[in-house]
Amino acid sequence: MTTTVPSTRSPKRIGFGHRMSAWDLKLSPYLYISPFFILFIVVGLFPIGYTAVISFMDWDLVRNTGEFIGWGQYEWVLSNPKFWIALRNTFSIFLLSSIPQLIAAIFIAAMLDQNIRAKTFWRMGVLIPYVMAPVAVALIFSNMFGDQYGIINTMLNRIGIPDIAWHSNAFASHIAIATMVNFRWTGYNTLILLAAMQAIPRDYYEAATVDGAGKIRQFFSITVPSLRPTLIFVIITSTIGGLQIFDEPRMYDQYGTGGANSQWLTISLWLYDIGWGEWNFGRAAALAWILFLIILAIGIVNLFVSQGLIRDEGGRGQLTRKQRRAAVRAARASVAAEAHGTPGTSSASAQKETVR
Amino acid sequence: MSATTSMPLHLDDSEIPTEERRPRRRRRGIAVDRPGWFVYTALGFVLLASLLPYYWSLLIGSGDSSTIRDTNMSWIPGGNFFANAAAVVNNEAVNFWTALWNSIWSSAVIALSVVFFSTLAGWAFAKLRFKGGNILLIFVIATMAVPTQLGVVPLYILFADLGWTGQIGAIIVPALVTAFGVFWMTQYLRQTVPDELIEAARVDGANSFRTFLTVGLPAARPAAAMLALFTFVTAWNNFFWPFIVLDPQNPTLPVALQLLQSNYFVDYSVVLAGVLLATIPLLILFAFAGKQLVSGIMAGAVKG
């Protein structure tokens, strides 16, 4: 092997050092990425495969082995009414948290995108909830949403609305848990969307203003369509995270079993209960795989839908006359800007930094 | 607080003569005015909503066990916070100081390790050419879609075999390097380091690892700092896996907080004092590094 070391440039200098450096060039990339892959194989790939194996077993904790029973665990999970309740709850909480959150995030980002004063102050302000642990958020909100003495019910009473059973009513409990998720993540997603908004060329707005479009019209005709790729990114990540929800429902009462009638039992919560409450690893493994397949299925649907959307964006028919006019104007403006030349571009400054 | 301070801000704004304001507008090249009171009021409400749960936990956490039942409760904190905090710290079932120390050192170790290994792998993916690099990178990204839940059963069996259940090592090892970190550093290094710089280092006789140390690491510093922050916050707040694998005797803070609530009788003034106590370290971190967190999220979004 060592003789095949490429040495076309200076055939006379095939010394030990040269051979070493060729190997160095070839091998070191693999060496550098190996920590990730080694760790992923040990704590990622192996457990995934082993989860599949265990899911076909009746696992014996004492002997630490299992007996193959085929699809039995999957049948048990899928025929258990608790699974369907947990699935319903998970989706209900997910929808209640993601949709209002995205809408709120878009509007807050649009406000932060204005020429406001003290930008950093407001941006940091919306991110404050993010540093609080979900467990802590859940403890605070489960107290605020108390059925009897919670501040939310007290406030509602003041404006004439009778007590809402935030814990015993399933839908109300989903709203309460979704509120925790929204509290923690709205600001985070706001900043992501804000970054995307700032990447929209300002000329579009200028052109629209010249054309007489108001702020609101500009928001719906320029801002929202330009956000599409970022929105897809946010939706996919929040789907993956949202369907795994555990911390908030676990802490919604002191027992952590999802309520007396499984009002807010989620799939992850049930998985924990099967695995480390009933100590039935076979069933827990089967449920884990079912959860993964659900996430995968929704991810693929997301991908297809979003790809369709992106392809549509290239279509000419999608553009309104104003957008087309704005695009032409933007192109003209950018040509003009290039002609003037812009000193201190980002690439130059980045280069400076790396040299330092 | 925010709603009231935002109003004067707006008034200040309108007091400036328009002639003086105009040049500032021009510089951005857009004919947008400073937004009106509506934007500040709405943002003020958002800020208020962000702070309300913190304030609520201070309010209840500084009262006594009857505060929560008082429908005419005052909006001014009481004087019992330190007594309640002491009750948290002295609760033998909760092991607060152990939990605090465990959270600090495990999160720090995880953050440092993730940054180092992610920078190394990101450097290889972004700047070194090797067979299968692109496919392996796609594979790394794909692993982000795998939920934690899929691996916890065998991981638990594995760590139980090793006798690691209840050990902090059991929560550190699976988190030593993350797909997100590798992806993040790859994106950053790809954009910031020019290939000529690597060539120059090589011509100077630096071997591959030396090039990484002298060119890659310094260039990666800003992104590495952000990654460290995010990893630290995520590790600090992580609950699902620590809750499974750790014992109440040797918890992290979220696991300890869960113990606060698991008694039959729950005194919420103590629970919420504990919540505040456990959040203070991250609030201090936020005060110093909040700006970096904000720009980190915004930078990641554009590339992601």
Ordered by start, the domain boundaries in chain A are 2-8+15-55, 75-337
Per-residue pLDDT, A289: 94
Evaluate if residue B97 carries a pLDDT over 50.
Answer: yes
Per-residue pLDDT, B24: 45
Question: Nearest CA of chain A to the CA of B113: how many Å?
Answer: 10
Per-residue pLDDT, A5: 46
pLDDT of B130-159, one tens digit each? 888 889 998 888 888 888 889 899 999 999
Q: What would the 3-class secondary structure string for A229-242 be?
A: HHHHHHHHHHHHHH
Per-residue pLDDT, B80: 84
CATH class name, domain A75-337: mainly alpha
Per-residue pLDDT, A167: 92
User: Could you tell me the pLDDT band of residue B20, with boundaries at 50, 70 and 90?
Assistant: very low
Ordered by start, the domain boundaries in chain B are 2-79, 96-303
User: DSSP letters along B125-177, please?
Assistant: HHH---TTHHHHHHHHHHGGGS-GGGTHHHHHHHHHHHT-TTSTHHHHGGGSS
Q: Which of A144, A230, A256 sits opposite B56 (nearest CB)?
A: A144
- Supply the pTM of this predicted model: 0.82
- Which of the residue ranges A164-178, B4-18, B233-247 would you say has the lowest mean pLDDT? B4-18
Per-residue pLDDT, A130: 93
Evaluate if residue B2 carries a pLDDT over 70.
Answer: no
Residues of chain A in contact with residue B147, where contact means CB-CB under 8 angstroms, are: 240, 243-244, 288, 291-292, 295
Residues of chain A in contact with residue B267, where contact means CB-CB under 8 angstroms, are: none
User: Could you tell me the pLDDT band of residue A314, with boundaries at 50, 70 and 90?
Assistant: very low
**Prediction ipTM score:** 0.84
**Chain B residues 218-277 within an 8 A CB cutoff of chain A:** 218-219, 233, 236-237, 239-240, 243-244, 253-254, 257-258, 260-264, 266, 268, 271-272, 275
Q: Which residue of A111, A121, A139, A294 is the best one to mutate when testing the B interface, meaning the one whose CB has the most B CBs within 10 A?
A: A139
Q: What is the DSSP letter of A163?
A: P
Residues of chain B in contact with residue A46, where contact means CB-CB under 8 angstroms, are: 154
pLDDT of A170-220, one tens digit each? 999 999 999 999 999 999 999 999 999 998 988 888 899 888 888 888 888
User: Could you tell me the pLDDT band of residue A266, with boundaries at 50, 70 and 90?
Assistant: very high
User: Could you tell me the pLDDT band of residue B1, with boundaries at 50, 70 and 90?
Assistant: very low
pLDDT of A32-72, one tens digit each? 888 889 988 888 888 889 999 999 988 888 787 888 888 99
The amino acid at residue A114 is: Q
Q: Which of B161, B207, B253 sits opposite A21 (nearest CB)?
A: B207
Residue A15 has φ and ψ, to the nearest 5°, of -90, 180
Cβ(A235)–Cβ(A309) below 8 Å: no
Cβ(B271)–Cβ(B84) below 8 Å: no
* CB within 8 Å: A244 and B156: no
Q: Which CATH superfamily is domain B96-303 in?
A: MetI-like (1.10.3720.10)
The amino acid at residue A288 is: A
Evaluate if residue B213 carries a pLDDT over 90.
Answer: no
Per-residue pLDDT, B152: 92
CA atoms within 13 A on the CB side of A80: 18
Mean pLDDT value across chain B: 83
Burial category of A330 from C-beta neighbours within 10 Å (exposed 0-12, middle 13-18, buried 19 and up): middle
